[in-house]
Structures are given as structure tokens and as C-alpha cells.
Chains A and B, each alone.
Chain A
Amino acid sequence: MTERVHYDWVVIGAGPAGQKAAIQGAKDGVRVLVVDQGRAPGGECVNRGTIPSKTLRETAQHFAALERRSAGVLRCELSPDAQLAGLMLRLDEVRDAHARTLSEQLKRNGIDFQQSRARFVGERELELRTPAGAKTLVTGDKVFIAAGSRPRTPDDIPVDHELILDSDSILSLVYLPRSLVVLGAGVIAVEFASIFAALGVEVTIVDRYPLPIGFMDADLCTGFVRAFEGRGGRFLGSTKYRSVAPDGVGHVNVELETGEVLNVEKVLSALGRVANLRTLSLEATGLAPTERGHLAVDSHGQTQVPGIYACGDVVGPPALASTSMEQGRRAARHALGRPVPDEELGMVPCGIYTIPELGSVGLSEAQARERHGDVLVGRAAFKELARGMIQGADDGFLKLIADPTGTRILGCHVLGDGAAELVHLAEVAMLGGLPVEVFVERTFNFPTLAEAYRVAALDILALRRGDLRAAA
């Protein structure tokens, strides 16, 4: 007979959203069960996503920086038989340590973890099945769906994980390919494209839109393309593929609508991700995915079914680890009856771990002009800063956007080393309602890239004075 158990909360998925929801509940005395298909908590983020790709990126970044900073004195080239795993030597260590920390965190908070596949058999009743096939029926007063996502595979791309890979299998390559076509130009696509390009692979990005990562400020997008092409990459924007097929001799032909055929060793299909809802039997709850395959929720993560919450990648964009954690936390607080802000997540910083890195917070220039009219934009090139010169950060820049009076900061966008960290300074200034002058009047460590704020702020102040003079 199938065993039956009851928990206060059942959380499906042990990625960033699920973990935060579970911990928030457990800290309030709630009895929580976390269920995940994987053997340890962490989700795709630890096993196939953020952690592995960032570990490889770390190596690629040092590799690229070594040549650049030695002013060409050192020529770096990987041997053709360099194994990819050899470039991620610390991966197992990092992954194990991270998984261990997460497991301990769950244990410390008295949260039960079970490796199983879950499917709804009632509104808040689930059947859990272990890899060995043992079944348990579990009910929860509240259920959190934080099942994450997987790569989307369009029907016309025969992903075989040998020649044509997706973002989950790309890091399983034993050797670095000599050439790679990346289909798509979203976050995952550009991150992998720039990492492989930095490692000396001939990379071509093919995307239907004119610029990559279209939701970012246009200057960051063009800056990325410039830097990527400067490192030998090729960006084919406004270009659609007609077909993708193995050529029969160990390579892949990517035929473009322009008629050009790219014959490459590997193809990475990075055309978005889909929510992991397929195996959950959502129909048993009365819930149905939206047209885009996500779950619709309110600002507290509540679905249409009382007591069922959803958070993380299953609710759709932005699907970042950082926002997923916050969604999980908010959903849990709401379930506990604790105060939660009514508005959406609001200002969320965005870090894209390309080489060079991109960081963004607040409005893009186009959004700011649309909402506020003639905004003032201050710029600082890293190559004009002492720290930037030392680092050889030729591509880097910071762009600060202020309202038309040149006082209120509306957005900040950074390209270059440490961009994802640097934007936090602007975020805090924006949250605190600090004026642009704060970056001129305060002292920053020297030499640091934070000086870019001062340069960009001075730029805005100069524009402001110019405007005032023009008005006089």
C-alpha cells in the first residue's frame, strides 16, 4: 500500500525559489517537505546552469585577460586536445561545496528533502516517485511550485547532444570544438558564446533580432557585439536559420535564410527555456499553463487555486536566480500571513556574465526617454580611469541616466569587469533617492572602477549646466 504523509507545506523544486520559500516557512515553525528530481538541492543552477558555466567563465576570463594585460607580450593558445573538464577543474569542488551548504541549510532548518518526481493527484495532494519507483502520497496545506525550467528545443533543430547541443549538454563536451554556431542571442546564448570565443573557439551567433539581449540598454548590446567581434566572434543579427542538420561527416550545416551555409563542428541551440510543468499533471489542480507555458500568479506568487503558489522560472521572465529567490521569499511570507509589498518586484538589477560582463539597473535610455522626455546621460570610459588602464579594460564603460533636471538617477548600465557588482552602487543610490551629485561629493577608493560614477556624474552635471546656460 502506498504510504501517505502530510506536511504543512510541500515545495516542488529545490532551486533558488524553492529553497528560499522552504527556509522562510521553516523559520516560522512550518513543517516543510522539499521534493526535487535531483539527488541534492540546488536545481539546474548548481548542476547545469550558473555554477558550471561561471566556473568555466572564470578560466576563460583569466585566459583572455592574461593576453590583454600583458600587452601582447604573452600569446595564449590552448592546445587542441585541451579537455573542457580541465578548464573547470574546481567545478566538482565548487558544486559539491555548494550542494553541501544547501543541504545543511535545509537540515538545520528542519526541512525534509526527498529525491522524487512529483505529480498532482488532487488539488493539494501529490504522488511522489523515487528513481527506484517507490511511491508516496503527500498532502500539504500549501503547495509551492518551483520546478524550474529546461532548454527549449524547437522541432526543426535535431538536438542530439553530440553535434547539436543545448545549454544543458554543452559543458559535457570533452574537447573544445574549433567552431561553434550559437542559435539565439538571449542571456544564456551570449554568455556561452563569449566564453567559448575567449577560449579561442570560432563562434558565430545567429539571431533573428538586430541586437543581442534585446531587453538591455542598446549601448550595452552594441558594446557587447563590438567586444565579441573584437575577440574574433561573429554576430549575425536580423538573421534566421533555414535548417540545421548534421552534414554526415562529423560537422553540422546551419543554412541561413540569406543562403549562406555555416559548416561548423558544434551547434549550441539556446533559444529560450520552457517551464518544467509537463510531468506535474496540473490538470488535477484545475490549473493550466498560460499560452507561453508559464503559470500565472499575482504579485504574491498566488496562483488561481487557493493554497498553491508558484515562483521562479515557472512563472516566466525575468527567470534570474536573484528574482527567483525573492519570489520564493515573498510567496512564503504571503502564505504565512506576513506583510509583503503589494507591488511587483520593482527595480531588479541584472548581471550578465559574458566576457566582458554586463550589469544593469533601472531604466534603459530608450525607456527613460519614453517616460521622462529629454533625460541626461553621463558616460565614463574605463580606459580613462586609472584602474581601467591598469586592467586594460578597453571596452568598458559606465552610463548613468538622470531625469531631465539632471538630479534623479533613473538607470545605470555598465559593460566591463565587475559590471554586475558595480551597478549595485547605483541601485542603492536610486533606492535611497540620492541625487546625482552624491557621486561627485563623496570619496571613492583610488584606483577603482567606482570612479566611473564620478566621471559619469560630472558629465551629467556639465550637461545640466549647459542646459541652464542655454536657457539663460
Chain B
Amino acid sequence: MPPEPIDLIATLSDRAHNGKLTLPVLPIVAIELLASVDDDDCDARSLAERVQRDPSLAAHVLRIANSARFAPKEPIVSLTQAIGRLGMGTLREIVISVVVKGSVFKVKGHEEYVEKLWDHALLSGRLAQEIARARRANVEAAFLCGLLHDIGAPVALQGLVDLCKETGFCLIERAMVQTIAGLHQEIGAKLIESWKLADWVYAAVRYHHQPEDAPNHRELVRTTALADALAYWLEEDEGEGLPPGMEHAADLELYEEDIQSVVERGSKVHAEAKANA
């Protein structure tokens, strides 16, 4: 007999509220790094020491430092050398990206979908960074919000996969996409809370589809929302036609030409980063 139909969104939402949804745990090095955005206590040496504690992470960082993007004359063999070549900011971004991707953006059986989510997260981060630069707002905070805004999506997907395994349902794509769309903000916010990240990251993750509801950090939330919309536009429509997200432009005090240059710079940086990933 086929199992009784269930409301996926309601069930998963209940699980998230009751603490029954498995939230990924980040390696300590990642938690420290996420908490240290723009924290001047986190200097080059301590960052190298932290990364060193995770050998696979260290190897990944060295691989990127030796990639074509940075084209070292001599091979880079140590993390300290890598920091010298990449710069602290870039290194911190690489480390954060690697650990978040490795810990959250992996769902067995849905690799292609999750990879797409990850590309979107990275592009949103780059665009948010450029929006912040154009507005003379905090660039690093914007990158982190852009990168993490949809972090609830892979967690929701993992939850769905687990739920289907338990109930014997077969997950169809439309239901999956709908459930993720309906729950990713809520679940992402739970995750950010459990990782004890700053309240501005929470606001961006929780309210990026309803910036007007954000109780605080509204400009950062709108920055994230605009980056999210622009990233989809570049990915789905290849930047054809008018850019979306203009409803945020007035609040962010950005005009068409500003958004145009944000898109150009963000896409360029993203393409470079992708080529070297």
C-alpha cells in the first residue's frame, strides 16, 4: 500500500521548529573564521595556524594558491607563503567557501542541483560585495551575507531526502523545489542561529525575500536581496534585458548605471574565481 500523502513543507517546518532537523555542524576552524569577518584579532599567523589544523582544508588552500589565477613563479608549499601571495582577505574567503561548501553544500543523489545552489551562493556573494562597495558600506559583511543567504536550501533538501527515506516517498522535483523555496529562509535562519553567527547574517538569511519585514540591518538585507536577484538574472537569463531587483534600488540609493557597474565587476570577479576553482 502506498504511504499516506504528507504536507512536506509543514512536516519539515515542524522538524525544524522541534529541533528534529539535522543541522550540519561546522568544523571549529570555520566557526572561528565566520565569526572573524573583519575581526582584527584574526591576523595572518593565527589564520594559518587555524587552517593548518585541518589538513584537507590546508591542501585545498595550497591548491588554489598554486592555481593559474595566482600563477606563482615557484610552487607555494606553505600556508604562510600562501597568505603572502593571496592576501588575508582572499585566503579568508577561500577558507570560508571551502568549509561551507564541504559541510553544507553536499547532498547525496542531488549533486548537480546542489552545485547549482553553490554557484548561485558564490555569485551572490561577489555581487553583494560590489553593491556594498558602490554604496561605501561594509564589503566583507556583504560578501558573507550573499554567500550564506540560501544556506537553508541544501539543509532543507537534505531534510527532504531524509524524510522521504523514512516515509518511503519518492521525491519529485517540483515538490522539492517548492518545499525548498518555502522553507529555505526559515531553516537557514535556524542554522545561522545554531552556528551563533552575527545578527546581521541572521537578518540577511531570514529576510532576503521580504526585506521590508527585517526588524534590523535592513540595508544589508536589501543588499543581499538585490545580489540574489541579479545572480539569478545572470545565471538564468544571461544578463539579457533589464536587470531585476530594481525595487531595492531606491532604498539602496543605487541607479541604473551603478547597478550596471556592480554587475560588470561582480561577474568579472566571479568568472576569475570560477576559472580557478
Closest beta carbon of chain A to B19's beta carbon, Å: 28
Report A-chain residues with C-beta under 8 Å of the C-beta of B252. Answer: 131
Question: Which of B87, B216, B256 makes the CB contact (< 8 A) with A248?
Answer: B87
With contact pairs A161-B133, A174-B141 given, residues A130 and B85 touching in the complex (Cβ less than 8 Å): no
Residue A317 CB within 8 A of the other chain:
no
Centre residue among B136, B216, B251, B252 by max chain A CB count within 10 A:
B136
Q: Are A169 and B136 in contact (CB under 8 A)?
A: yes
Closest beta carbon of chain B to A298's beta carbon, Å: 33
Closest beta carbon of chain A to B101's beta carbon, Å: 22
Question: Which of A80, A115, A162, A265 makes the CB contact (< 8 A) with B140?
Answer: A162
Q: Are A37 and B140 in contact (CB under 8 A)?
A: no
With contact pairs A161-B136, A172-B137 given, residues A115 and B250 touching in the complex (Cβ less than 8 Å): yes
Q: Are B38 and A81 in contact (CB under 8 A)?
A: no
- Size of the A side of the interface (Cβ < 8 Å), in residues, is 35
Q: Are A166 and B136 in contact (CB under 8 A)?
A: yes
Residue of B nearest to A177 (CB): B40
Q: Are B136 and A172 in contact (CB under 8 A)?
A: yes
Report A-chain residues with C-beta under 8 Å of the C-beta of B253. Answer: 37-39, 115, 131
Residue of B nearest to A178 (CB): B40
Chain A 33-62 interface residues, beta-carbon cutoff 8 Å to B? 37-39, 48
Report A-chain residues with C-beta under 8 Å of the C-beta of B242. Answer: 133
CA A163 to CA B140, docked complex, whole Å:
10
Q: Are B136 and A249 in contact (CB under 8 A)?
A: no
Report A-chain residues with C-beta under 8 Å of the C-beta of B43. Answer: 249-250
Centre residue among A163, A173, A246, A250 by max chain B CB count within 10 A:
A250
Chain A 242-296 interface residues, beta-carbon cutoff 8 Å to B? 246, 248-251, 265
Report A-chain residues with C-beta under 8 Å of the C-beta of B87. Answer: 246, 248-250
Q: Are B132 and A161 in contact (CB under 8 A)?
A: yes
Q: Are A265 and B40 in contact (CB under 8 A)?
A: yes
Report B-chain residues with C-beta under 8 Å of the C-beta of A178. Answer: 40
Q: Are B40 and A131 in contact (CB under 8 A)?
A: no
Report B-chain residues with C-beta under 8 Å of the C-beta of A39. Answer: 250-251, 253
Residue of B nearest to A265 (CB): B40
Residue of B nearest to A133 (CB): B256
CA A168 to CA B85, docked complex, whole Å:
30
Residue A175 CB within 8 A of the other chain:
yes
With contact pairs A130-B250, A131-B253, A174-B138 given, residues A248 and B133 touching in the complex (Cβ less than 8 Å): no
Q: Are B40 and A132 in contact (CB under 8 A)?
A: no
Question: Which of B92, B136, B250, B254 makes the CB contact (< 8 A) with A168?
Answer: B136
Q: Are B136 and A175 in contact (CB under 8 A)?
A: no
Residue A117 CB within 8 A of the other chain:
yes
Report A-chain residues with C-beta under 8 Å of the C-beta of B133. Answer: 160-161
Residue B89 CB within 8 A of the other chain:
yes
Question: Which of A81, A133, A172, A265 makes the CB contact (< 8 A) with B138?
Answer: A172
Report B-chain residues with C-beta under 8 Å of the C-beta of A248. Answer: 83-88
Residue B246 CB within 8 A of the other chain:
yes
Residue A231 CB within 8 A of the other chain:
no
Q: Are B249 and A132 in contact (CB under 8 A)?
A: yes
CA A162 to CA B90, docked complex, whole Å:
12
Residue A129 CB within 8 A of the other chain:
yes
Residue B8 CB within 8 A of the other chain:
no
Report A-chain residues with C-beta under 8 Å of the C-beta of B39. Answer: 80-81, 174-175
B241-269 interface bits toward A, Cβ cutoff 8 Å, 1 = contact, 0 = none: 01000110111111110000000000000
Label chain B's interface by main secondary structure. Answer: helix
Report B-chain residues with C-beta under 8 Å of the C-beta of A173. Answer: 38, 138
Closest beta carbon of chain B to A167's beta carbon, Å: 9
Residue B37 CB within 8 A of the other chain:
yes
CA A39 to CA B135, docked complex, whole Å:
13
CA A56 to CA B147, docked complex, whole Å:
30
Report A-chain residues with C-beta under 8 Å of the C-beta of B141. Answer: 174
CA A168 to CA B136, docked complex, whole Å:
6
Chain B 132-156 interface residues, beta-carbon cutoff 8 Å to A? 132-133, 136-141
Q: Are B250 and A162 in contact (CB under 8 A)?
A: no
Report B-chain residues with C-beta under 8 Å of the C-beta of A162. Answer: 89, 139-140
CA A173 to CA B255, docked complex, whole Å:
24
Report A-chain residues with C-beta under 8 Å of the C-beta of B249. Answer: 131-132
Chain A 148-205 interface residues, beta-carbon cutoff 8 Å to B? 160-163, 166, 168-169, 172-178
Residue B4 CB within 8 A of the other chain:
no
With contact pairs A80-B39, A161-B136 given, residues A249 and B250 touching in the complex (Cβ less than 8 Å): no
Report A-chain residues with C-beta under 8 Å of the C-beta of B246. Answer: 131-133
Report B-chain residues with C-beta under 8 Å of the C-beta of A161. Answer: 132-133, 136-139
Q: Are A174 and B251 in contact (CB under 8 A)?
A: no
Report A-chain residues with C-beta under 8 Å of the C-beta of B136. Answer: 48, 161, 166, 168-169, 172
Closest beta carbon of chain A to B225's beta carbon, Å: 14
Report A-chain residues with C-beta under 8 Å of the C-beta of B198. Answer: 83, 174
Q: Are B44 and A117 in contact (CB under 8 A)?
A: no
CA A169 to CA B246, docked complex, whole Å:
23
Closest beta carbon of chain B to A26's beta carbon, Å: 24
Residue B238 CB within 8 A of the other chain:
no
Residue B41 CB within 8 A of the other chain:
yes
Residue of A nearest to B133 (CB): A161
Report A-chain residues with C-beta under 8 Å of the C-beta of B88. Answer: 248-251
Q: Are A250 and B44 in contact (CB under 8 A)?
A: yes
Q: Are B140 and A174 in contact (CB under 8 A)?
A: yes
Report B-chain residues with C-beta under 8 Å of the C-beta of A177. Answer: 40
Residue of B nearest to A81 (CB): B39
With contact pairs A132-B246, A246-B87, A250-B88 given, residues A175 and B38 touching in the complex (Cβ less than 8 Å): yes
Residue of A nearest to B256 (CB): A133
CA A38 to CA B254, docked complex, whole Å:
9
CA A160 to CA B38, docked complex, whole Å:
14
Q: Which residues of A contact B (CB under 8 A)?
A: 37-39, 48, 80-81, 83, 92, 115, 117, 129-133, 160-163, 166, 168-169, 172-178, 246, 248-251, 265
Q: List 8 A-B contacts (CB under 8 A).
A: A81-B35, A131-B246, A161-B136, A166-B136, A169-B137, A172-B136, A172-B138, A173-B138
- A-B complex: 10 closest residue pairs judged by Cβ atoms: A250-B88, A131-B249, A169-B136, A172-B138, A249-B44, A168-B136, A174-B38, A131-B250, A132-B246, A248-B87
Q: Which residues of B contact A (CB under 8 A)?
A: 35, 37-41, 43-44, 83-89, 92, 132-133, 136-141, 198, 216, 242, 246-247, 249-256
Contacts A131-B256, A249-B84 aside, 4 further interface pairs with beta carbons under 8 A come to A160-B139, A161-B133, A174-B138, A265-B40
